[in-house]
A and B are shown apart, each in its own frame.
Chain A
């Protein structure tokens, strides 16, 4: 059964798998709190300013994603000899470029090509 022993050894240092009961419970508690607060904020309109609410809600989402990565997906810089983290960082960079690029470009396209607004004002 040496193959089995080897495999056991392999997946323990594989890193992507093992958590503890405490870890899962902390992660669950944190994500419940981090979900409940933004829902409560939006549903009750706790803050009058919509833009401020939006920014706070997004901040909560970012924190919750990190909580899930750490406590549920067990990401550490050492998982799979660092390759998981490298792939994650690369993906995050691509996601940021895709999202911010699309929103930025299309916002300006809309703002500048909106028929009527500029032309109407410049008409004699």
Chain B
């Protein structure tokens, strides 16, 4: 940004030569990306804790006794499908088709809810078998890591519902498009974290 010195009398006065207009929200994408990166660090800490504590069963159940890979595979499929349907929502948004966008958002939300239900079923099943977070360091770190991811998905769904209401009320206005793009990044980012979860927690757990 250029500044010019104009000598008014004896005192030099500085002012910005041209303040070119920044569109509202022009830097939102970068800011949101930085938030995601900091979220990534939270998950890195939780992964590190799980990596260190994941083998401490305290004579309790081990991954092999608890995990059902078939269920995890179904869960992963749900999240993957929700990723592609969100992609379709973005594509229909680009074409300005409100109804189709809302439809794809609803489908994405259903896949997200399916993912959450399966995860909660898994947690309930584990807790029912006595594999509570208090049982061992492995289970504490497991529930913290996978639970934090599940909490993110939950908030993603809350956000999605809010956004659908917004789009229904105001249509695909600029602000809503921006929100759609932020949620898109959030949702795909959660999928990336899930890749780490199913690889390091479930698959590697079964290999231990």
Q: Which residues of A contact B (CB under 8 A)?
A: 3-4, 6-11, 14-21, 24-25, 27-28, 31-32, 35, 38-39, 42-43, 50, 53-54, 57-58, 60-61, 64-65, 68-69, 72-73, 80, 83-84, 87-88, 90-91, 94-95, 98-99, 102-103, 106
Q: Which residues of B contact A (CB under 8 A)?
A: 21-26, 29-30, 33-34, 37, 40-41, 44-45, 47-49, 51-52, 69-70, 72-73, 76-77, 80, 83-84, 87-88, 90-91, 94, 174, 177-178, 181, 184-185, 188-189, 191-192, 195-196, 198-200, 203-204, 206-207
For the complex, what is the distance from the CA of A80 to the CA of B185, rounded to whole Å?
Answer: 14
Known A16-B185, A17-B181: A84·B30 in contact at CB below 8 Å: yes
Using Cβ atoms and an 8 Å threshold, which residues of chain B touch A14?
26, 29-30
Of B26, B83, B88, B204, which contacts A10 at CB under 8 A?
B26
For the complex, what is the distance from the CA of A24 to the CA of B94, rounded to whole Å?
Answer: 14
For the complex, what is the distance from the CA of A91 to the CA of B26, rounded to whole Å?
Answer: 23
Using Cβ atoms and an 8 Å threshold, which residues of chain A touch B48?
98-99, 102-103
Name B's interface SS: helix
Closest CB pairs A-B (n = 9): A24-B87, A7-B23, A102-B48, A61-B199, A72-B188, A95-B44, A91-B37, A106-B52, A28-B84
Q: Can you name the residue of chain A whose Cβ is closest to the Cβ of B30?
A: A80
Q: Can you name the residue of chain A whose Cβ is closest to the Cβ of B202?
A: A42
Known A10-B23, A61-B199: A53·B185 in contact at CB below 8 Å: no
Using Cβ atoms and an 8 Å threshold, which residues of chain A touch B184?
17
Give A80 Cβ to nearest chain B Cβ, in Å. Answer: 4
For the complex, what is the distance from the CA of A73 to the CA of B204, rounded to whole Å?
Answer: 26
Contact B76 A35 (CB under 8 A): yes
Q: Can you name the residue of chain A whose Cβ is closest to the Cβ of B37?
A: A91
Of A53, A68, A91, A99, which contacts B191 at CB under 8 A?
A68
Contact B192 A68 (CB under 8 A): yes
Contact A61 B41 (CB under 8 A): no
For the complex, what is the distance from the CA of A15 to the CA of B22, rounded to whole Å?
Answer: 17
Contact B73 A11 (CB under 8 A): no
Give B56 Cβ to nearest chain A Cβ, in Å. Answer: 9
